[in-house]
């Protein structure tokens, strides 16, 4: 069994900033008609702004830029990458895989295994577990590369168009509210076999719990062309927190000393401040240990959690030897907790 080390992690930032205030300006008439106070979007979610790609941008191009940055940061020979996995929800094509397009852009070895996996907002953490498993199995002797690029401008524009309609009702606003929280960005992570790793950031283990009953697996639905997303935000919150409690209990039963006192920092997938507060209350976790970035990035889907990890590392929030919990709930519903030692 070989340990898997996070050798480097980096991002490529979307250039265009859109504030919650600007979004509410676009639908001001509808908000007035439905008696929704201005400022509700930020007050409910904690999101001040989010970022978007330029129109027409290809996700695999933004992903490639993030990958180049992480390879350069690690200072490795890209020919030593033995597997690349794309974990994003957003794709440029049904086929080929996004990973194959990035593989070609990076001119990686023909022996580098390349494919996509997708699991809503949990895809990146699932990819980390998969790379770790491949290292343990001896399939990766040097490096594995994870990438993701998410974008939501098309969904936001379509949603604003619908919410501006004089036919828009309160149910329409509620079911499309989650779309107003979405942001964009690209991330990449290089994971090394311990035999050649330079970093001490170790991926320990992960636990996963699912609740895919029919009334749960359709609480959030997004179209194939990324143009629309429907979400039962209340149902996602209530059932997601229930699943988080079960996932936390499984981690507590699986790993010794797994409790709030033992953990130094939580890096969650984050959709709103209310979701984080509900998670802390339900699992009895210290809110001050959570690293939150949604105020300036919104919900970046599968790129959100790794982006929070990057931000925590760059702002010197993490210290050598810290015990870190990566925590996420994703549409489906699925829950994941991963243990890291920084």
**What CATH code would you report for 202-341?**
3.40.47.10
Please compute the mean of the pLDDT values over residues 41-64 and round it to a whole number: 96
Please compute the mean of the pLDDT values over residues 334-342 and round it to a whole number: 97
pLDDT tens digits along 137-181: 999 999 999 999 999 999 999 999 999 999 999 999 999 999 999
Q: Verify cis geometry, omega within 30 degrees of 0, for the bond prior to 293.
A: no
112 catalytic, yes or no?
A: no
Average pLDDT, the chain: 96
* Reported confidence tier of residue 1, pLDDT bands at 50, 70, 90: confident
CA 224 to chain centre: 18
**According to the model, what pLDDT value does residue 223 have?**
85
Tell me the C-alpha distance between 64 and 187, whole Å.
9
Tell me the C-alpha distance between 79 and 274, whole Å.
44
**According to the model, what pLDDT value does residue 36 have?**
96
Cβ(206)–Cβ(127) below 8 Å: no
Tell me the C-alpha distance between 267 and 289, whole Å.
9
Catalytic residue among 121, 168, 220, 280: 121
Task: Give the start-to-end residue ranges of the domains of the chain.
Answer: 202-341
With a cut of 90, say whether residue 37 has pLDDT above it.
yes
Share of the chain above pLDDT 70, in %: 100
- Enter the tokens of residue 142: 């040097």
Cβ(21)–Cβ(50) below 8 Å: no
With a cut of 90, say whether residue 215 has pLDDT above it.
no
95 catalytic, yes or no?
A: yes
**According to the model, what pLDDT value does residue 246 have?**
97
**According to the model, what pLDDT value does residue 338 have?**
98
**According to the model, what pLDDT value does residue 287 have?**
96
């Amino acid at each position: 069994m070989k340990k898997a080390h996070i050798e480097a992690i980096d991002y490529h930032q979307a250039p265009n900033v859109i504030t919650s205030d600007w979004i509410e300006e676009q639908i001001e008439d509808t908000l007035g008609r439905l008696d929704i106070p201005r400022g509700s979007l930020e007050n409910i979610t904690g999101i001040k702004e989010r970022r978007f790609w330029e129109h027409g941008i290809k996700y695999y191009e933004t992903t490639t830029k993030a990958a180049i940055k992480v390879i350069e940061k690690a200072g490795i020979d890209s020919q030593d990458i033995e597997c690349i996995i794309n974990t994003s929800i957003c794709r440029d094509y049904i086929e080929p895989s996004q990973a194959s397009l990035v593989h070609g852009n990076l001119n990686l070895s023909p022996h580098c295994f390349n494919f996509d996996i997708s699991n809503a907002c949990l895809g990146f953490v699932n990819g980390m577990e998969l790379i770790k498993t491949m290292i343990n199995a001896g399939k990766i002797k040097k490096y594995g590369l994870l990438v993701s690029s998410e974008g939501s401008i098309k969904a936001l524009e379509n949603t604003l168009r619908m919410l501006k309609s004089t036919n828009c009702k309160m149910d329409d606003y509620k079911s499309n509210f989650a779309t107003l929280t979405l942001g964009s960005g690209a991330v990449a992570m290089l994971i090394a076999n311990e035999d050649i790793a330079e970093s001490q950031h170790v991926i320990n283990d992960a636990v996963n719990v699912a609740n895919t009953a029919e009334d749960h697996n359709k609480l959030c639905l997004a179209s194939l062309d990324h143009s629309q997303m429907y979400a039962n935000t209340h149902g996602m919150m209530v059932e997601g927190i229930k699943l988080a409690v079960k996932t936390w209990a499984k981690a507590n039963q699986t790993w010794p000393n797994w409790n709030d006192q033992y953990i130094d920092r939580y890096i969650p997938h984050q959709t709103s401040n209310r979701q984080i507060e509900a998670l802390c209350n339900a699992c009895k976790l210290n809110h001050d240990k959570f690293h939150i970035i949604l105020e300036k990035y919104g919900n970046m889907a599968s790129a959100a959690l790794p982006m929070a990890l990057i931000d925590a590392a760059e702002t010197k929030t993490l210290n050598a030897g810290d015990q870190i919990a990566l925590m996420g709930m994703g549409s489906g519903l699925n829950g994941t907790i991963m243990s890291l030692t920084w």
